[in-house]
Structure 1
Amino acid sequence: MANIPHFDGHESAGVSEVLYMNDLLFILMLIGALGVSSQWIAWRFRLPAIVVMSVMGLLVGPILGIMDPNEDLGALYGPLISIAVGIILFEGSLNLDFREIKGLGKPIFRITTVGAFLAWILGSLAAHYIADLSWAVAFVIGGIFIVTGPTVILPLLRQAKLKPRPAAILKWEGIIVDPFGALVAVFAYEFVKFITMADVTFITVLGFLAGSLLAAVIGAIFGYGIGWMFENGYVPEFLKSPVVLASVVMAFALSDAVVHETGLLAVTVMGMTIANMHISSIGDMRHFKENISILLISVIFIMLTASLDRDILLSIFDWHIVIFILIMLFVTRPLSIFLSTINTDLTFKEKLLVGWIAPRGIVALTVAGYFAGVLTDAGFEDANILTSLTFGLVFATVVAHGFSLGFVSKKLGLSTESKPGVLIVGSSKFSVNLAKVLEDLNIPVLVTDSSWSRLSHARRLGVPYEHGEILSEQTDYQIDLTPYEYMIALTEYDSYNTLVSSTFMPAFGREHLFQLPLQVNQGDHLEDVSKHISGHLLFEESANWSTLNEKINKGYLFKKTTITNQYPYNQFLKELDSESILMLVLRKSGSIEFYKPGSTLRPEAGDTVISLQKPPQN
């Protein structure tokens, strides 16, 4: 007879622990893989990331029942959600530099103050009287729903190509209001919790206010401490990001331990403090936190949607919830915008567009998921519908606004209907003449340079320009990057071009960043610079700054050649002079493709080729 292994109680427990760990590892792997792959699919096919992640989470969760993170992760589920929301909120508050608020027009100031307050009150009333939620839950969800976060609105603005004015309003509303949504929810939750307690007294209310103040102080101390250490060189570069991440978790946990549920307030104040210290490494910090936030948002969104119960998910279609969502779309948002912008210079059409566009995003759902657990634990049973309610509003607004923004803006005459724009860094005879050609093709273009004298070329030809250092934070606030899909660095300094490309890689993506070929025999000698930190090289290997400007001085001209069936691209190449340089192709679809060394572009009938050619011989 075969020897059958015998397990005593300890051995059996050990095997169970191993099996549990394997299951837990698989669940964590699946959550991460689904979150990141959803973001990639959304980027690849130009879809709203929230829609893709919603489908993924619902498929593996309530539909197919592959996993239920709430049960699978057990005691880890709550802390993971809490810490992730804290980090996401900190990343959002890092963008709340008070310099951005200064100088904003009256409409933006009104919308981000009066409008946000009205949206909170109106949304809370709708949640209570229409969705039949208790006052505590209604005021919390009303605070969360004022958020139209930049992670949702900015991609929509890039696709819709709005005129600068409505685009600026929607952009800055998202940036400024984003950190305050969860903050309002925190105050609403704490305040309502205290006034609904049976033994509420003045002392308990005072304790609530003191606890909130203490949380703010803790956040400010952590923020100031981090900024001071960074500026005085007490933290090496390679440790800055880990120190910030650990400090955020510490501030959140410490504040929450001292006064329960005030961690979100602490990390928000911490981020605001760092943002307004204007430390030199704030840019790198934002990039790192943004990357972490994208990962956390993806993971948390999958966890929340996969944890939805089928019954709660189906409750979204309850007529109370459906009417609430319709009220939020067609009454609360438009009313708050129209009332808050009375006596401003916004036109009726601009008010109509801004009043319609208010997509809620991943941050709203993650924060709502966090408060759903907190409120349920506090005894508010109707809070179990918060996640599904928020999911319904998020999904409805992303689909409705995401797919209608372009159509509505065109109908209202608020769309530029222009081609993808080009931001040119460096003013010279060549770059300005190239900008003029792009402008003649109705391509949005802007030339930036820190030298007023070099910008004389742009002023002479009448092309749009911006005087300022593109790497300066102040200039970054002044320039709206929304119209520009491409950035090309055309200065005479190879090192500066590479620095610009490296700095703006998170904003544009490497595939949309270009710079001039290196000047091998002169200049900075950057032959060994990693391609990972530089933009794509433009035109051809010999087309450096000196060569291009020398050709302009010799009278070379930009030529626009339309390829047709009668005049194919092969014929154009045969007639092209050997000293001419191919610049770019404007596709008949409106997209732009730049020539690169070794490029294999094949323009087709209807495409326009831009080239730099010899002047005609007399």
Structure 2
Amino acid sequence: HSRLAVNHVPKASSTEHSRRAGRGMFGLAEQIRSESGLMTTVVAGMVVGAAEIPELRLIKRFKGQLTMLAVSVLFILLAADLSLASVVALGWGSVFTVLTLMFLVRPLNILLCTWNSQLNWQQKMFVSWVAPRGIVSASVSSLFAILLTQKGINGGDSIKALVFLTIMMTVFSQGLTARFVAQFLGITSSAAKGAVIVGSNPLSRLIGKIFKDRGESVVLIDTDEESCKQAETEGLQTYKSSALDTNVLQEAGLESVGTFLAMTKNGEVNLVLAQRAAEEFKPPRVLAVYPKSPQQKNQNSKDKVQQAFSTELNLKTWNQYLSDKQVKLGETVLKKLGFEFQKTHLQALIRSGELMPILIERQGSLQVLPATENWQPGDRIIYLLHDPKPKLLKRLSGSQQKGLTMERHPAVEEVPIPTVVLEADSEKIPTK
């Protein structure tokens, strides 16, 4: 009955109920035993996080907003009671102490705490650089300073001054450099890998297998049981559910992957799913297969969601080609010599319906190709090429295969480029 009652709590009220419950438990614990309120709320948070609470994501988001507000106010209140003279009185020894904490104690602490975790070395390095904010140590040191002063013990102000010096040095140095360190280590959100794909069809499964072959995590979501079983037989992780359920998207790992792709057979549904994923989870890349010219959509929605593959895409047709084994999987690299001619040649094949680009690799990062992507020399384009050769001829030529293999095809590679253009482009390329 309690579970049923919780499920019927309005979504807008869940965060307010959580706040009241937290304050109530804190006050009750303080009445029973002094200084026990904080531990009580921490344990309550652990219980709520482990339980299957409806709209848990809303509660976590609300908790994050409260945390930001409380930390900001608390820092101001604690720092207002700090004497600058007490910081200066510590001398240069305190600076060397803080540097030891930053470059020796903290990295060793993070290394031990993350020893058996799934974090890679880049993530551990970044955590070692920016992990603690110091609010707990600032609060405790302020409390100790007050208690020690009340008991007539010297040193309370020095402890507090050293803690705040640590906070000031780390916030100033690491706060200003966090972005550059993340970029250097390659762990920014734009560098996130993996994909969550909505819709299990021949094309989505092919894309999923390409990502998986590169060692990236891929999850497919579909409501059709047979489509999910087909994906599972091909070695792909699937969820038989609706992508409108944010709990399913969270279980699929959308909070940590780099790409969300909606490619069901309904373009309008794809756009709605992609917009919701962009608003709720904010992955770096959100794409959807939708009609050619969605002018009826507002500009804000189009900024959040990119159109996948090509404006000329007919998803049903290409899925049928894949089912009938009437396609070839290919790759091509855009060259500096004759780049414009090569790009024009590919775009002509796309407009004719003979070729569909699906993925792009740039600087070692493989991504789903947006329809509006500006191609650059050096880009590696992975595509599907329509191969309408009759099945009998395929058997006679021995070209029928169980699976698609990535190759370079003459129809794409042989670009008619005038010699004059090649000579002009070669003159523009600097020689080493």
Going from structure 1 to structure 2, the CA distance change for 1:339 and 1:551 (only over 3 Å counts) comes to closer
**Identity across matched positions, percent:** 15
Matched, 1:538 2:308: yes
Task: Name the structure where strand makes up a greater proportion of residues.
Answer: 2
- Deviations along 1:524-544, whole A, 9 cap, x unmatched? xx999x949985442356746
Aligned to 2:276: 502
- Matches of residues 35-434 of structure 1 in structure 2 within 5 Å? 231=6, 233=8, 235-252=9-26, 255-256=29-30, 259-294=33-68, 297=71, 310-311=84-85, 318-320=92-94, 322-323=96-97, 325-326=99-100, 329-330=103-104, 334=108, 358-359=128-129, 361=131, 364-378=133-147, 379=149, 380-385=156-161, 386-392=163-169, 420-434=193-207
Structure 1 SS opposite 2:134: helix
The equivalent of 2:419 in structure 1 is none
CA RMSD after TM alignment = 5.1
Does the Cα contact within 8 Å between 1:518 and 1:527 map onto a contact in 2? no
Q: Could you tell me whether the CA contact under 8 Å between 2:278 and 2:304 is conserved in 1?
A: no
| 1:335–1:355 contact (8 Å) kept in structure 2 | no
Match of 1:549 in 2: 319
Report deviation, 1:576.
Answer: 3.8
Is 1:446 the counterpart of 2:215? The answer is no
The SS at the match of 1:358 is helix
1:439-494 deviation digits (Å, cap 9, x = unpaired): 56x473513346775355546655x5356657585895685964x31121334466
Q: Distance in 2 between matches of 1:301 and 1:551?
A: 62
CA change 1:302–1:609 in 2 (3 A) is: farther
Change (3 A) 1:576 1:315: farther
Counterpart for residue 465 of structure 1 = 237
Deviations, residues 334-371 of structure 1 (Å, cap 9, x unaligned): 37956997xx8x9xx98999699534546x42223333
Residue ranges of structure 1 left out of the alignment (5+ in a row): 1-226, 411-417, 521-525
Tell me the alpha carbon deviations over residues 560-617 of structure 1, each in whole angstroms, 9 at most, x when there is no partner: 3321122422343234442244434333463746324xx3x32111112344442266
Matched, 1:587 2:362: yes
Partner of 2:411: none
Match for residue 379 of structure 2?
A: 607
Q: How far 1:286 moved relative to its partner?
A: 1.8
The alpha-carbon deviation at position 333 of structure 1 amounts to 5.5
Where 1:502 maps in the other structure, the secondary structure is helix
User: How many angstroms apart in 1 are the aligned matches of 2:114 and 2:336?
Assistant: 56
How many Å apart are 1:373 and its aligned residue? Answer: 3.4
TM-score, normalisation: structure 2: 0.63
Partner of 1:107: none
Task: Specify the alignment match of 1:188 in structure 2.
Answer: none
Equivalent position SS for 1:454: helix
The Cα of 1:236 is off from its aligned counterpart by 2.4
CA gap of 1:508–1:443, structure 2 versus 1, over 3 A, is: farther
Distance 1:295 1:338, change over 3 A: closer
CA shift, 1:328, in A, is: 6.7
The 2-side partners of 1:339 and 1:608 are apart by 40
Tell me, yes or no, if the aligned pair for 1:447 and 1:465 is still in contact at 8 Å: yes
TM-score (norm 1): 0.46
Secondary structure of the structure 2 residue equivalent to 1:513 = strand
Change in CA separation of 1:504 and 1:268 when aligned onto 2, cut-off 3 Å = farther
Equivalence for 1:19: none
Q: Amino acid of the residue matched to residue 16 of structure 2?
A: P
Matched, 1:561 2:332: yes
1:514 to 1:587, Cα distance in 2 relative to 1, 3 A: same
Q: CA deviation at 1:279?
A: 1.7
CA contact (8 A) 1:369 1:387 kept: yes
Deviation at 1:428, TM superposition (A): 1.9
Residue number in structure 1 paired with 2:429: none
Q: Residue 242 of structure 1: CA displacement?
A: 2.9
Per mean C-alpha deviation after superposition, the further-off stretch among 401-410 and 572-581 is 401-410
**1:514-533 matched pairs, under 5 angstroms:** 514-517=287-290, 531=301
Q: Deviations over 1:504-563 (max 9, x none)?
A: 744444x5222332799xxxxx999x9499854423567465344234335244443321
Deviation at 1:302, TM superposition (A): 7.4
Q: Distance in 1 between matches of 2:42 and 2:113?
A: 28
Q: Indicate the structure whose relative CO is greater, using CA pairs within 8 Å and at least 6 residues apart.
A: 1
Distance in 2 of aligned mates of 1:302 and 1:453: 58
TM-superposed deviation, 1:271: 1.8
Kept after mapping to 2: 8 A contact 1:560/1:611? yes
**Which position in structure 1 is the counterpart of 2:352?**
578
Task: Answer whether contact 1:556 1:615 (CA < 8 A) is retained.
Answer: yes
What amino acid does structure 1 have at the position aligned with 2:348?
K
CA contact (8 A) 2:328 2:386 kept: yes
Match of 1:517, SS state, is coil
8 A contact 1:585–1:593 mirrored in 2: yes
Q: Distance in 1 between matches of 2:192 and 2:125?
A: 26
1:5 maps to none
Whole-angstrom distance in 2 between the partners of 1:429 and 1:314: 68
Per-residue CA deviation, residues 47-105 of structure 1 (Å, 9 max, x unaligned), is xxxxxxxxxxxxxxxxxxxxxxxxxxxxxxxxxxxxxxxxxxxxxxxxxxxxxxxxxxx
Structure 1 equivalent of residue 403 of structure 2: none
Aligned AA (2:316):
S
1: distance between equivalents of 2:90 and 2:180?
A: 21
Kept in 2, the 8 Å contact 1:334–1:356? The answer is no
Structure (1 or 2) with the greater helix fraction: 1
Which string of whole-angstrom CA distances, capped at 9 and with x for unpartnered residues, describes residues 377-413 of structure 1?
A: 3334334222333444566777899877898999xxx
The separation in 2 between residues aligned to 1:447 and 1:609, in whole angstroms, is 23
Which letter maps to 2:262?
Answer: A
Q: SS where residue 128 of structure 2 aligns?
A: coil
The one-letter code matched in structure 1 to 2:143 is V
- Superimposed CA distance per residue, residues 183-221 of structure 1 (whole angstroms, 9 cap, x where no aligned partner): xxxxxxxxxxxxxxxxxxxxxxxxxxxxxxxxxxxxxxx
Using the alignment, how far apart are the partners of 1:400 and 1:455 within structure 2? 45
Once the 2 structures are TM-superposed, how far is the Cα of residue 231 of structure 1 from its aligned partner? 0.9
Alignment partners' CA distance in 2, 1:607 and 1:502: 30
Shift of 1:322: 2.4
C-alpha distance after superposition, 1:308-341 (max 9, x if no partner): 7654565787324523652574357637956997
Deviations 1:157-202 (A, max 9, x none): xxxxxxxxxxxxxxxxxxxxxxxxxxxxxxxxxxxxxxxxxxxxxx
